[in-house]
Amino acid sequence: MSVRVRRIYEPPAPDDGVRVLVDRLWPRGVSKADAHVDEWPKDLTPSTELRRWYHEGEASHEEFRRRYEAELDRPEAAELLDHVKALTRMGTVTLLTASRTPEESHASVLASLLEG
Protein backbone atom coordinates (compact mmCIF):
# COMPACT_ATOMS: atom_id res chain seq x y z
CA MET A 1 0.00 0.00 0.00
CA SER A 2 1.33 3.40 -0.97
CA VAL A 3 -0.27 6.79 -0.49
CA ARG A 4 1.35 9.87 -1.94
CA VAL A 5 0.50 13.55 -1.78
CA ARG A 6 1.38 15.70 -4.77
CA ARG A 7 0.46 19.08 -6.13
CA ILE A 8 -1.90 18.86 -9.06
CA TYR A 9 0.33 21.32 -10.93
CA GLU A 10 3.06 18.69 -11.18
CA PRO A 11 2.87 16.53 -14.31
CA PRO A 12 1.44 13.03 -13.82
CA ALA A 13 4.01 10.33 -13.13
CA PRO A 14 3.76 6.79 -14.48
CA ASP A 15 3.81 5.37 -10.93
CA ASP A 16 1.03 7.62 -9.53
CA GLY A 17 -1.50 4.81 -9.56
CA VAL A 18 -5.02 6.08 -8.95
CA ARG A 19 -5.02 9.89 -8.96
CA VAL A 20 -7.56 11.37 -6.53
CA LEU A 21 -8.22 15.11 -6.40
CA VAL A 22 -8.93 15.99 -2.77
CA ASP A 23 -9.80 19.68 -3.21
CA ARG A 24 -13.41 20.87 -3.18
CA LEU A 25 -12.78 23.36 -6.00
CA TRP A 26 -11.18 22.56 -9.33
CA PRO A 27 -7.66 24.09 -9.37
CA ARG A 28 -7.11 27.17 -11.47
CA GLY A 29 -5.14 26.86 -14.65
CA VAL A 30 -5.37 23.06 -14.91
CA SER A 31 -7.46 21.48 -17.63
CA LYS A 32 -9.31 18.32 -16.76
CA ALA A 33 -7.59 16.54 -19.66
CA ASP A 34 -4.10 17.49 -18.43
CA ALA A 35 -4.82 16.66 -14.79
CA HIS A 36 -5.47 12.95 -15.39
CA VAL A 37 -7.71 12.76 -12.32
CA ASP A 38 -9.34 9.37 -11.79
CA GLU A 39 -11.60 10.35 -8.89
CA TRP A 40 -12.83 13.58 -7.33
CA PRO A 41 -14.70 12.82 -4.09
CA LYS A 42 -15.80 16.33 -3.10
CA ASP A 43 -17.51 15.16 0.11
CA LEU A 44 -14.13 13.92 1.35
CA THR A 45 -12.76 17.47 1.36
CA PRO A 46 -12.96 19.95 4.25
CA SER A 47 -16.12 22.03 4.43
CA THR A 48 -15.98 25.54 3.02
CA GLU A 49 -16.26 26.92 6.56
CA LEU A 50 -13.37 24.82 7.86
CA ARG A 51 -11.20 25.60 4.86
CA ARG A 52 -11.80 29.35 5.23
CA TRP A 53 -11.17 29.21 8.99
CA TYR A 54 -7.85 27.43 8.47
CA HIS A 55 -6.67 29.74 5.70
CA GLU A 56 -7.27 32.82 7.82
CA GLY A 57 -3.94 31.88 9.36
CA GLU A 58 -4.74 31.93 13.06
CA ALA A 59 -5.44 28.23 13.46
CA SER A 60 -2.93 25.56 14.33
CA HIS A 61 -2.53 22.57 12.06
CA GLU A 62 -3.38 20.29 14.99
CA GLU A 63 -6.69 22.05 15.63
CA PHE A 64 -7.47 21.95 11.91
CA ARG A 65 -6.67 18.23 11.87
CA ARG A 66 -9.00 17.60 14.83
CA ARG A 67 -11.88 19.47 13.21
CA TYR A 68 -11.31 17.87 9.81
CA GLU A 69 -11.23 14.37 11.28
CA ALA A 70 -14.56 15.16 12.97
CA GLU A 71 -15.98 16.12 9.57
CA LEU A 72 -14.69 12.86 8.12
CA ASP A 73 -16.85 10.97 10.64
CA ARG A 74 -20.01 12.11 8.82
CA PRO A 75 -21.60 9.19 6.94
CA GLU A 76 -21.06 10.51 3.40
CA ALA A 77 -17.41 11.36 4.11
CA ALA A 78 -16.77 8.09 5.97
CA GLU A 79 -18.12 6.12 3.02
CA LEU A 80 -15.79 7.92 0.62
CA LEU A 81 -12.84 7.47 2.98
CA ASP A 82 -13.55 3.73 3.06
CA HIS A 83 -13.67 3.72 -0.75
CA VAL A 84 -10.26 5.41 -1.04
CA LYS A 85 -8.86 3.02 1.61
CA ALA A 86 -10.03 0.16 -0.60
CA LEU A 87 -8.16 1.72 -3.52
CA THR A 88 -4.95 1.77 -1.46
CA ARG A 89 -5.23 -1.99 -0.92
CA MET A 90 -5.11 -2.45 -4.69
CA GLY A 91 -2.06 -0.26 -5.30
CA THR A 92 -0.68 3.24 -5.19
CA VAL A 93 -3.01 6.17 -4.61
CA THR A 94 -1.85 9.72 -5.24
CA LEU A 95 -3.80 12.45 -3.45
CA LEU A 96 -3.75 15.63 -5.50
CA THR A 97 -4.10 19.13 -4.10
CA ALA A 98 -3.52 22.68 -5.28
CA SER A 99 -2.16 23.62 -1.85
CA ARG A 100 1.23 25.32 -1.92
CA THR A 101 2.17 23.43 1.23
CA PRO A 102 0.71 19.94 0.89
CA GLU A 103 2.43 18.78 4.07
CA GLU A 104 0.32 21.28 6.06
CA SER A 105 -2.91 20.69 4.16
CA HIS A 106 -5.91 18.44 4.50
CA ALA A 107 -4.25 16.11 1.97
CA SER A 108 -1.59 15.21 4.54
CA VAL A 109 -4.31 14.51 7.10
CA LEU A 110 -6.03 12.19 4.62
CA ALA A 111 -2.77 10.47 3.75
CA SER A 112 -2.01 9.72 7.40
CA LEU A 113 -5.53 8.34 7.93
CA LEU A 114 -5.24 6.15 4.85
CA GLU A 115 -1.82 4.84 5.86
CA GLY A 116 -2.78 4.35 9.50
**6 φ, ψ (degrees, to nearest 5):** -140, 155
- Our count of domains for the chain comes to 1
N- to C-terminal Cα distance for the chain?
A: 11
Contact 19, 36 (CB under 8 A): yes
Q: pTM of the predicted model, to two decimals? A: 0.93
Contact 95, 22 (CB under 8 A): yes
pLDDT, tens digit (0-9, with 9 covering 90-100), for 3-60: 999 999 999 999 999 999 999 999 999 999 999 999 999 999 999 999 999 888 778 8
Can you tell me the mean pLDDT for 111-115?
Answer: 94
Cβ count near 27 (within 10 Å)? 16
Residue 1 has pLDDT above 70, yes or no: no
pLDDT, tens digit (0-9, with 9 covering 90-100), for 67-95: 999 999 999 999 999 999 999 999 999 99
Residue 104 has pLDDT above 90, yes or no: no
Contact 89, 1 (CB under 8 A): yes
Which residues span the domain enclosing 23?
2-115
**Which residues share a beta bridge with 94?**
4, 19
Contact 41, 19 (CB under 8 A): no
